């Protein structure tokens, strides 16, 4: 593993020297070059899990690479999203509709990511409902691509008492509704 990481770092330095002219002139290396270098560092993919220790370890492992490469904040967010596979990819496809991908920072990505993969009291029935709802939206393009339709279907699927509490808060977006419902259940 260390030999692979060392080989990746060596390749990074070779690539870095090749891009130094672009950096010296103020031009930014191509996004593809940044991603190619990042992938050579052999980051772990993330397929989703309910184990918070695995999730935290994944975040820490990619942040080590980000720090080493001195990536810009938006490049960090892009690279992190490219590593999602399986259930995490389905979740991100849905979650990405509630953020501006052009201006998404790494901290913004982590905020959305943490709201999905961490809860205060471990997984809850509402957190499970949200996770399953997001997975299901992937297979219903009308709902996945229409924010109003998604919000309406989400609200209709909630237990009556939770639906009332969320409606009173008047959420304007699906992300806000999810945040509110998780806080309501916790209360």
pLDDT tens column, 111-142:
888 878 775 444 456 777 777 787 778 777 77
DSSP, residue by residue, 8-34: HHHHHHHHHHHHHHHHHTTPPPPHHHH
Dihedral (CA of 69, 70, 72, 73) sign: positive
Q: Above 80 in pLDDT, residue 86?
A: yes
* Helices 147-156 + 125-138 axis angle, to 10: 140
In percent, the amount of the chain with pLDDT more than 70 equals 78
Rounded Cα distance, 179 and 186, in Å: 11
Rounded Cα distance, 29 and 37, in Å: 11
Q: Which residues contact 150 (CB under 8 A, 6 or more apart)?
A: 97, 137, 143, 144, 174
pLDDT of residue 20: 46
Q: Where are the domains of the chain?
A: 2-83, 125-186
Q: What is the token pair recorded at 109?
A: 């990505």
């Amino acid at each position: 593993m260390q030999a692979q990481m060392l080989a990746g770092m060596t390749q990074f330095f070779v690539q870095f020297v090749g891009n130094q002219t672009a950096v010296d002139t103020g031009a930014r290396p191509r996004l593809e070059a940044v991603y190619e270098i990042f992938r050579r560092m052999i980051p772990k993919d993330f397929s989703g899990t309910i184990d918070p220790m695995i999730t935290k370890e994944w975040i820490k492992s990619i942040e080590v690479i980000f720090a080493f490469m001195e990536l810009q904040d938006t490049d960090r967010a892009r690279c992190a999203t490219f590593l999602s596979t399986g259930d995490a990819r389905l979740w991100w496809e849905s979650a990405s509709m509630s953020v501006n991908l052009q201006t998404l920072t790494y901290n913004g990505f982590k905020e959305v990511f943490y709201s999905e993969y961490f809860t205060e009291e471990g997984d809850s029935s509402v957190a499970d409902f949200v996770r399953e709802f997001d997975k299901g939206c992937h297979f219903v393009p009308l709902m996945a691509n229409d924010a109003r339709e998604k919000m309406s279907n989400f609200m209709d699927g909630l237990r009556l008492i939770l639906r009332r509490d969320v409606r009173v808060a008047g959420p304007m977006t699906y992300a806000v509704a999810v945040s509110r419902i998780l806080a309501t259940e916790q209360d």
